[in-house]
Structure 1
Amino acid sequence: MRTILKFSLRAAVILVVVAAVVGFWKREEISRLLAVSTLFSEEKIVANFSHMDSAFLSQELDRGTGPVSDLPQGDPMDLPGSFDTWLSERAVTALVVMKDGKIRHESYHKGTGDEDRRISWSVAKSFLSALMGVIVEQGAIASLDDPVEIYAPSLIGGAYEGATVRNVLNMASGVTFDEDYLDQSSDINKMGRVLALGRSMDGFAADLEARFTSPGAQWQYVSIDTHVIGMVIRGATGRSIHDLMEEYIVDPMGFEAAPYYLTDGYGVAFVLGGLNLRTRDYARFGQMFLQKGLWGDRQIVPARWVTASTRPSAPTAAGEVQYGYQWWIPSDAPEGEYFARGIYGQYIYIDEARGVVIAANGADRGFREDGAHDQNLAMFRTLAASLE
């Protein structure tokens, strides 16, 4: 009996030691998982969205040694009477409104400041689309109608095999992917845990097997399509998204502060939602697009790509919101109205005809409510119209 007790005690001590070692070894992963579990909580969401590098693996982009590009100030604009109500109801944290290249309104809310680097969420998709335009212009990708596996061979045998580059740009891959943020077992939340645990996003995409329809047949918002775009770009160029974004977007545009991407455990940029910038730099990017890809005396993104990517081309349903190459177009949009959009209230809104760019960040926990997006779009249109 005494021998059994000694053995049991020894085994218990060993288990405690092993658990302690494993806990120490995995402490960063455990910490990131805990951060994910409270990322959107009411008391933490605002601070979290301005400090995502404290919760996830990340890597800064080199902004270069050049001067910050100028965003001149214009006369303060008159704000509509419903403005303050909108700020409160939609939990806006930052807003920059530009007209003809000049800032007409800039404000920060809920304890945030102008130096905060805020999470883009899916606004990052539009940045990646811009980079794709540069790579296509250089000839690294022969055709948008090439199958994605030509550039990303690890996708052979999975759900993405046979989908074209154009299909994934249009969110029309046909790949089954549950985007329900409220369901912990959904694909989007599984992907979040892959990121938090430092596993491979490439592997996650390659392991998807199911399709709900054939590629190109139907539009359905599938965030992992954007990661596949990143795989295609990396495969076509042999370079990282960080390097390419630094060289072709961040450095020549003179961003105010070094942006950063959240990354997986292999240093691969979380291109579908992990870019973090100051709000004025979101506005800079929008202004460059309004100017058909021109910034100063340099063509950042080919003008024909700006036009092609921001005009409806995806197989969306009649009368519904329209989609281009990772840009949104309202169903009733006049020519030249489009926007980038991320969960919880992140936007870059562009009205070419009026010369207006609006960059907005938010921590809107009600962003999925009926009418929330319509309320934002209505305010952007009201602000743009008031500047005519």
Structure 2
Amino acid sequence: MRTFGKWLGRVLLALLVAAVVIGLWKREEIARLLAVNSLFSEEKIVHNFSHMDGAFLSVPVSRGDGLTSELPYGPETELPETVDDWIAARDVTALVVLKDGAIVYENYFNGTGPEDRRISWSVAKSYLSALVGILLDEGKIASLDDPVTKYAPNLEGSAYDGASLRNVLHMASGVTFDEDYLDYDSDINRMGRVVALGGRLDDFTAELTETFAEPGSQWQYVSIDTHVIGMVVRGATGRGVPELLSEKVIAPLGLEHAPYYIVDGSGTAFVLGGLNMTTRDYARFGQMFAQGGQWNGKQVVPADWVTASTSPTAPTAEGQIGYGYQWWIPVGAAEGEYMARGIYGQYIYVDTARDVVIATNAADRKFREAGVAEQNIEIFREIAASVSGGT
């Protein structure tokens, strides 16, 4: 009996040592997984959204060697009283309004500040779209109708075999992907755990095999489509998205603070939602689009791509919000009215006719409730009219 007790003690000690060793070896992965599981908790969400590099692997996006180009300030403008109620209800953390390219309103809330580099979530998709337009213009990508497997051959035999670049830009791949953020076992949350634990998103994507429709026949918002766009960009150029975005978009804009991307275990950028930058710099990107893709006299994004990507050409249902190439077009939009949009209340809203750009970040845990998205658009329209003299 005493011998058995000694044996059991040795076994337990060995297991304890093994647990400690594994814990030390995997402590970063475990810490990231714990951070992901509490990412959207009420008491942590505001802090987390300004410090995503504390929960995930990340890489900097260079601002380039050019001079920082500070946004000018115009006459300070009071916004409609309804905006204050909206800020409180939607847990807005930052609001920057540009009129004619100058800041006419800027404010930060919930203990955040102007230098916070905030998570874009799906606003990042519109940045990748801009990069695609540039690469098309340069001839690096031959056609929107090229199959994605031309540039990403490891997708052959997957659910994406047969889909074109245009299909994935339109969110019309027909690939089955559960995007329920409230379901722990949904595809989008499984994907988040892959990123947190240092897995490879390319492998995750190639393992998808189910489809619900023929490519191009039906619109359904599927975030993994944007990762496929990133795979196409990398395959067409042999370069990573952070490096390309820095060279083609970020450096020409003269950002005030260097952005960063969340990356997976292979260092591949989380292009569907992992870009982080200041709210002023989100507004700067929107202003460049409002100017037809120009900044400081340079054509950064081809003008025809600005028009094409922000036009409602995707096969969305009649009477519903429109979609272009990774940009949203509100119901009843005026010409040149469109937006980038991310979960929990991230927006870049552009009203080209009024030359108004609104960038806002939030930690809105009720963003999915009925009517919230429509209310946000109405507030943006109200702000745009107000800073334009009510016209």
Q: TM-score, normalised by structure 1?
A: 0.99
**1:52, CA displacement in angstroms?**
0.4
Which residue of the partner structure matches residue 181 of structure 1? 181
1:95 equivalenced with 2:79 (yes/no): no
Question: What are the Cα deviations for residues 307-329 of structure 1, in whole angstroms up to 9, with x where unaligned?
Answer: 00000110000000100000000
Q: Confirm or deny: 8 A CA contact 2:68 2:256 kept in the other structure.
A: yes
Task: Note the C-alpha offset of 1:81.
Answer: 1.6
| Structure 1 residue 387: Cα displacement | 2.2
Secondary structure of 2:235's partner? helix
1:220-270 deviations in whole A, cap 9, x for unaligned?
000000000000000000000011011011111100111000000110000
The SS at the match of 1:35 is helix
Deviation at 1:273, TM superposition (A): 0.3
Matched, 1:201 2:192: no
For 2:169 and 2:65, how far apart are their aligned partners in 1? 32
Q: How many percent of aligned residue pairs carry the same amino acid? A: 65
| Alpha-carbon shift at residue 118 of structure 1 (Å) | 0.3
In 2: Cα distance, 1:55 partner to 1:298 partner: 37
The match for 1:71 is 71
After superposition, the C-alpha distances for 1:56-80 in whole angstroms (9 at most, x for unaligned) are 1000011122211131111111211
Q: How do 1:206-221 and structure 2 match up within 5 A?
A: 206-221=206-221
Determine the structure 2 residue equivalent to 1:375: 375
Give CA deviations for 1:92-123 in whole Å, capped at 9, x if unaligned. Answer: 10011011111110000010000000000000
**Residue identity in the other structure for 1:180:** D
> Partner of 1:5 in structure 2?
5
Please tell me the root mean square deviation across aligned C-alpha atoms, in Å.
Answer: 0.8
CA-CA distance at 1:83 after TM superposition: 1.4
Stretches of structure 1 that go unaligned for 5 or more consecutive residues are none
CA distance in 1, matches of 2:204, 2:8: 41
Measure how far apart 1:331 and its partner are: 1.9
Three-state SS of the structure 2 residue aligned to 1:82 is helix
| Correspondence for 2:291 | 291
Pick which of 233-242 and 75-84 moved more.
Answer: 75-84
- Which residue of structure 1 aligns with residue 107 of structure 2? 107
Give the residue type in structure 2 aligned to 1:86: W
Separation (CA, whole Å) in 1 of partners of 2:362 and 2:348? 12
- Paired with 1:43 and 1:226, the residues of 2 have a C-alpha distance of 30
Report the Cα distance in structure 2 between the residues aligned to 1:146 and 1:250, rounded to whole angstroms. Answer: 27
| Alpha-carbon distance in structure 2 between the residues aligned to 1:254 and 1:164 | 33
1:192 maps to a residue whose letter is G
Measured after TM superposition, the shift of residue 141 of structure 1 is: 1.0
Measured in 1, the distance between the counterparts of 2:81 and 2:142 equals 51
Give distance in 2, aligned partners of 1:243 and 1:45: 29
TM-score (norm. length: structure 2): 0.98
What is residue 227 of structure 1 aligned with on the other side?
A: 227
Could you say what secondary structure the match of 1:216 adopts?
Answer: coil
Shift of 1:282: 0.1
Are the counterparts in 1 of residues 79 and 387 from structure 2 also a CA contact under 8 Å? no
Q: Cα deviation per residue 1:8-31 (whole Å; 9 max; x = unaligned)?
A: 221111111111111111111110
Q: Is the Cα–Cα contact under 8 Å of residues 70 and 256 in structure 2 kept in the other structure? A: no
What is the match of residue 58 of structure 2?
A: 58
The one-letter code of the counterpart of 1:101 is G
Shift of 1:40: 0.7
> Corresponding residue for 1:166?
166
Counterpart residue type for residue 175 of structure 1: V
Which deviates more, 58-67 or 200-209?
58-67
Partner residue, 2:317: 317
2:145: which partner in 1? Answer: 145
CA distance in 2, matches of 1:78, 1:34: 42
Distance, in Å, in 2 between the alignment partners of 1:195 and 1:363 is: 21
Q: Hey, what does 2:346 align to over in structure 1?
A: 346
In the TM superposition, what is the alpha-carbon distance from 1:375 to its structure 2 partner? Answer: 1.2
Map 1:16-31 onto structure 2 (within 5 A). 16-31=16-31
Deviation at residue 5 of structure 1 after TM alignment = 2.3
Query: Which amino acid in the other structure matches residue 330 of structure 1?
Result: P
Q: How does 1:272-291 map to 2 (within 5 A)?
A: 272-291=272-291
1:371 offset after TM fit, Å? 1.1
The residue aligned with 1:134 is 134
Write the distance in 1 (CA, Å) between the matches of 2:249 and 2:191: 27
SS of equivalent residue, structure 2 residue 231: helix
State how many pairs are aligned: 388
Q: How far apart, in 2, do the equivalents of 1:211 and 1:256 lie?
A: 43
1:275: Cα distance to partner? 0.2
CA–CA distance in structure 1, aligned partners of residues 155 and 73 of structure 2: 48
SS at 1:12 equivalent:
helix
- Within 2, Cα distance between the matches of 1:271 and 1:95? 24
Report the residue type matching 1:102 in the other structure. Answer: A
Structure 1 residue 6 displacement after superposition: 2.2
1:384 maps to which residue? 384
Deviations 1:301-353 (A, max 9, x none): 00000000000110000000100000000121111100000001000000011
AA in 2 matched with 1:307: T
SS of corresponding position for 1:325? coil
Amino acid at match of 1:169: L
